[in-house]
Amino acid sequence: MQMILLMIFVSSLISCYILCYAAGSISRRIGYMDIPHKHKAHKIATPLGGGIAVFLSIALIIIAGILAVHTNIVSHLPYINQLTDFHTGVVIRTQQILGILFCAFILLILGIFDDVKDFGPFLKLAIQFAVAGLVVIGFDVRLYLFIKIPAIGYAITILWIVTITNAINFMDNTDGLAGGVALICTLVLLAVSASGGQLLVSAYLACLAGALAGFLFHNFPPAKIFLGDAGSQPIGFLLAVGTILTTYYFEANPQTQKSAVLMPVIVLAIPIYDFLSVIFLRLRSGVSPFVGDHRHFSHRLINRGLSKRQTVLTIYLASIGTAISAIIIRYLSGMLAWLVIFQTICIVAIIAILEYQPQKNDKE
């Protein structure tokens, strides 16, 4: 299983790494560029094709894998021939996986148009909710959370997908930030799904992680290519779907605890914090929560004197600090589970205090 996941990860990484070169070249040629303005931190026009490269890498690897299993080619290939044992599962879930890719593709197209001509927040939100509703109701991607009323489960899942989609979109404001944080969260989910023997979900997450890693070679400060909304929205959507597809609690396994359902919130604590804090700050200032500004987590750290790289690495460390602790919560119950939750809250609270505590020269 480990070899299969490694091969998927590396294939996706190499694919995205190469496609980013092509996307950057084409973006420059057709003028698909991110032009600096008052809400942008970069100084020069930068190509926006990174998100397209990420999506194409994921779609190509997943579709190639589905075709290989359906046509039984994998039975003749070394290292991955054990995929034949999952032939039935792949066949059953093919429609669901293709449906997920289709929904991500809709967000990709939405993002491309929004990058070129701003659609405004309300149309974007409407389409995001429609896409989330399609993947939840049409392709049975939903949270159960021990809730017996399906309608409540549907509503919570749709809200979760839209929230995480926008949380990653909000984090795409500094070189290497959105892609790196999404990669960290995806790798933690991959570790959880792989340890639980969920090969198909693990393959999906390995593909997403590989594409993000390949993109980061081009996007880490100083970035040569950006995700744009065409990348941040599908990535947030695919990550949100990954948190839903992953099984955290196994009723048949007495070692796992129901507290494990909180794992996605802990894994994504930093993006969620940035999303909620930015909305709070904007509302407190009397402006629309959807109007771009420099109130993001990364901007607040840069204002404290950190460089772009220091800021990105600091947020990476914070994401690792919260995400890794989520791995063990499935085996904890009662007070121990609450201690992990409390630890996550403490990390976020420390960040908030350090962000807003006035510096000495601010008082003078």
How far is Cα 168 from Cα 38, in angstroms, rounded to an integer? 21
Q: How many CA atoms lie within 13 A of 352 on its CB side?
A: 15
Q: How confident is the model at residue 281 (pLDDT cuts 50, 70, 90)?
A: confident
pLDDT of residue 24: 93
Q: Is the dihedral of CA 146, 150, 151, 155 positive or negative?
A: positive
Examine the pLDDT at 189 and tell me if it is beyond 80: yes
User: What are the boundaries of each domain within the chain?
Assistant: 2-363
Query: pLDDT higher for 325 or 211?
Result: 211
- CA proximity to 265, closest of 354, 180, 337: 337
Q: pTM for this one?
A: 0.90
Instruction: Report the pLDDT value the prediction gives residue 190, as an integer from 0 to 100.
Output: 95
Residue 181 has pLDDT above 90, yes or no: yes
* pLDDT tens-digit series, residues 13-60: 999 999 999 999 999 999 999 887 655 555 688 899 999 999 999 999
pLDDT classification of 293: cutoffs 50, 70, 90 = low
CA 307 – CA 232 distance, rounded (Å):
23
* Backbone φ and ψ of 49, nearest 5°: -85, 5
Q: Which residue has the higher pLDDT, 296 or 197?
A: 197
Continuous segment of H or E residues that includes residue 290: none
Range of lowest pLDDT (7-16, 20-29, 79-88, 301-310): 79-88
Question: What is the spatial distance between Cα 116 and Cα 94, in angstroms, rounded to a whole number?
Answer: 33
Q: How far apart are CA 191 and CA 194, in angstroms?
A: 5
Identify the CA nearest to 354 among candidates 301, 311, 310: 301
In the predicted model, is pLDDT for residue 67 greater than 90?
no
Query: What would the two tokens of residue 117 be?
Result: 């001509």
Residues 158, 66: Cα–Cα separation, whole Å: 26
Q: Lowest-confidence range among 45-59, 61-75, 247-261, 284-298?
A: 247-261
49 φ/ψ sector (left φ>0, alpha ψ -120 to 50, else beta): alpha
3-state secondary structure string across 26-76: HHHHHCCEECCCCCCCCCCCEECCHHHHHHHHHHHHHHHHHHHHHCCHHHH
User: Is residue 359's pLDDT more than 60?
Assistant: no
CB atoms within 10 A of CB 126: 11
Res. 249: pLDDT tops 70: no
Q: Looking at residue 89, what is its pLDDT?
A: 74
